Structure 1
Amino acid sequence: MALPDNLAETLARAALDAGREILAVYRDGPTVSVKSDCTPVTEADERAEAVILARLADAFPDIPVVAEEAVAAGKVPDIEGRSFFLVDPLDGTREFISRRDEFTVNIALIDAGVPVAGIVYAPALKRAYWGADGVAEKFDVSDDFTMVDRRPIRCRAKGERLTAVVSRSHGDPETDAFLDRTGISDHTTVGSSLKFCLLAEGLADVYPRFGRTMEWDTAAGDAVLRAAGGRVTRADGSPFLYGKTNQQTDTDFANPAFIGWASAA
């Protein structure tokens, strides 16, 4: 698909405005509740999602949006045969609650099952990543929530030793077994979708994930990684796609295990 001319600007503004709402709650201390799937949610999730949905509806009224908190409330648009947005207003809620700064805002555009554009913004770290059309960028965010120091990023070539990036909050035996099986001893732990971004900017080589994720958790980081020259596959090497509804073995929009790879790793 041809990307809309105002896509990058709209997604960046939506993410930065959402980050402003998140940081306001972060400073004051969030009130935490638990959703029906036993995952935590705060008012920051809800306020950020409202900002993003308003921005997307204004700019792209004909493109449906699948957003985490809306889906939890039973609001699921018809995406059959259509491009659509995936939104996670606050990825890394556990990091947010624990006052670790590695939480992000994730917005991605999906076309034919593939994330063709996405932004990942880490408000507390004041940095963000964008990817689309084979071009990935990293930029800083100033105190007045504007983009500064924008620069291109790219996955690194494979070296003699691979470095893995793994989940800070969701370790599991399958990941340990994968690292043992592939002979990878060097690894670092990071929260949220920043794991994809570390691969995209050439700081790591592989991101294995065997624990449960949802499509809105991964789509934006996946878009950045693919634009930087990397790839994401299912654990068996088959294509990793989005828009998974009516699944026989899991809920709508639930992901299987996957591996994110830097360009030549």
Structure 2
Amino acid sequence: MIPMKERKDRKEIMNGRTIRINRVPATITAILLTIVLVYFLNFHQEERPSIYGMLRSDNKVNLRKMLIAAIQAAQRGGLEIVDVANSRQLKERSKGKTAEGVNDPFTDADGRSHCVMKQGLKRIFPRVHIFSEEDKEHCQDAHSFDLDPTVLHETAIVPDVAVTAQDVTVWVDPLDATKEFTEELYEYVTTMVCVAVAGQPVIGVIHNPFSGHTAWAWVGHSMSEYLAELHKLPRADKGSDPIITISRSHTAAAQDVTRAVFGQNVNILTAAGAGYKVLQVVANNATAYLHTSIIKKWDICAGDAILRALGGAMTTLNDESINYGPNESPVNKDGLLASLTHHGDYMERVSKYRAQHNGKLR
């Protein structure tokens, strides 16, 4: 029989077979495995979180990443729109009539842009509420995208800010001003994405696919270089009277109301697309944007965020902030007034007119 200490040092008998064990390499191997395990547990927690960590982090979203994704979504949707425009295969059909009684068209560009924007955002942020104007469309084989931080300019101040996923609502307009798109009035056409937190718009993106310009802002943090340059433009030379932009699809009665509210010398700028009209206010081509009828929240949320970032305001005609939360109606029934300055003065004029006409403004 082999003595105990010699068996430990040199060999063991297992299942009738003799094997040799070298204790020194085995100890070294155990130490190395322990070091590797500690390294991964302590230094790679972000890449390999624990089950508890995954459950906890899954309830948060990063607004910096949401900004990047929102910009990319608007630009990718724009590429689809330009592609359809170049093909001249619009496949136009009608969705019915607008509140102003105007035909509300739908094209292949609306559908393709919707699928790229909605599916791309949903893949990256599966736990946030995302609403699109064309949610009834069925998407197949839509191109997706991965986050690309290079869409931000180098001087952009975009910190990592985490918020609860359930507090986030994203509003997507895949093609604003579809009627004008079918008429090849491309200056009015935009794609828009808005990120609201607890019902308040904090990130807004308005992209024109045909010029390639993207205006974006994150309230309290940063904005695109294009938006900053647009905001610096001098006021259009129209004298001291206000310039009010309204929809080109509005009836003559809407123009009469505008004159009654702001005076007979008011300058009226008719234009299409809510996104385009907000940017006219930003560029000082208009002093305010007035809409007297129903409007959808995917049309106005991005512009609301951009105006807030610039110190402006967008309210209903009851002078109330618009809530963009997931449990709210997607329809804003109370009209809107948007401006960069003198918002209170303009609202006083609106209120005075409504008091004289039993609360009506249309």
The answer to whether the 8 Å contact 1:156/1:262 transfers is no
Give distance in 2, aligned partners of 1:155 and 1:71: 40
How many angstroms does 1:87 deviate by?
0.6
2: CA distance between counterparts of 1:66 and 1:170? 26
Structure 2 Cα separation of the partners of residues 215 and 127 of structure 1: 22
Structure 1 pair 63–232 and aligned structure 2 pair: CA distance change class (3 A): same
CA distance 1:138–1:259, change in 2 (3 Å): farther
Q: Paired residue for 1:224, among 293, 306, 310?
A: 306
Q: 2:115 aligns with which of 46, 50, 54?
A: 50
Q: Among residues 66, 77, 95, which one is paired with 2:131 in the alignment?
A: 66
Q: Does 1:237 align with 2:306?
A: no
Q: CA deviation at 1:172?
A: 5.4
Residue number among 80, 88, 94 corresponding to 1:34 in the alignment: 94
> What displacement does 1:245 show?
5.3
Aligned to 1:84: 169
The residue aligned with 1:104 is 190
Match of 1:262 in 2: 340
Distance 1:2 1:245, change over 3 A: closer
The partner residue of 2:287 within 205, 214, 234 is 205
Distance 1:201 1:65 in 2: 29
User: Aligned residue for 2:142?
Assistant: none
Higher relative contact order (CA closer than 8 Å, sequence separation 6+)? 1
| Gap runs ≥5 in structure 2 | 1-59, 98-102, 139-165, 344-362
The answer to whether the 8 A contact 1:243-1:253 is kept is no
Give the deviation of 1:36 after TM superposition: 5.8
CA contact (8 A) 2:202 2:219 kept: yes
SS in 2 for 1:70: coil
Change in CA separation of 1:106 and 1:128 when aligned onto 2, cut-off 3 Å: same
Aligned counterparts of 1:171 and 1:227: Cα–Cα separation in 2: 32
Please tell me whether the aligned partners of residues 64 and 84 of structure 1 are also in contact (alpha carbons under 8 angstroms).
Answer: yes
2:248 corresponding residue in structure 1: 168
Seq. identity, %: 25
Counterpart for residue 200 of structure 2? 114
Query: Partner residue of 1:5?
Result: 64
Letter in 2 for 1:109: V
Q: Distance in 2 between matches of 1:185 and 1:72?
A: 42
- What residue identity is the alignment partner of 1:263? T
Question: Which residue in 2 is equivalent to 1:77?
Answer: none
Measured after TM superposition, the shift of residue 189 of structure 1 is: 1.9
CA distance in 2 between partners of 1:151 and 1:200 (Å)? 10
Question: What stretches of structure 1 of length at least 5 have no aligned partner?
Answer: 74-80, 141-149, 247-251
Equivalent residues, number? 244
Counterpart contact for 2:96–2:105, Cα < 8 Å: no
Q: 1:18 to 1:237 in 2, by over 3 A?
A: same
TM-score for the superposition, normalised by structure 2? 0.61
Shift of 1:198: 1.5
Once residues 326 and 233 of structure 2 are traced to their aligned partners in structure 1, the CA distance between those partners, rounded to angstroms, is: 28
The higher radius of gyration belongs to 2
TM-score of the superposition, structure 1-length normalised?
0.81
**Deviation of the 1:171 alpha carbon:** 4.0
What secondary structure sits across from 2:84 in the alignment? helix
After TM superposition, the structure 1 stretch with the greater mean CA deviation from structure 2, 220-229 or 163-172, is 163-172
**1:137 positional shift:** 3.3
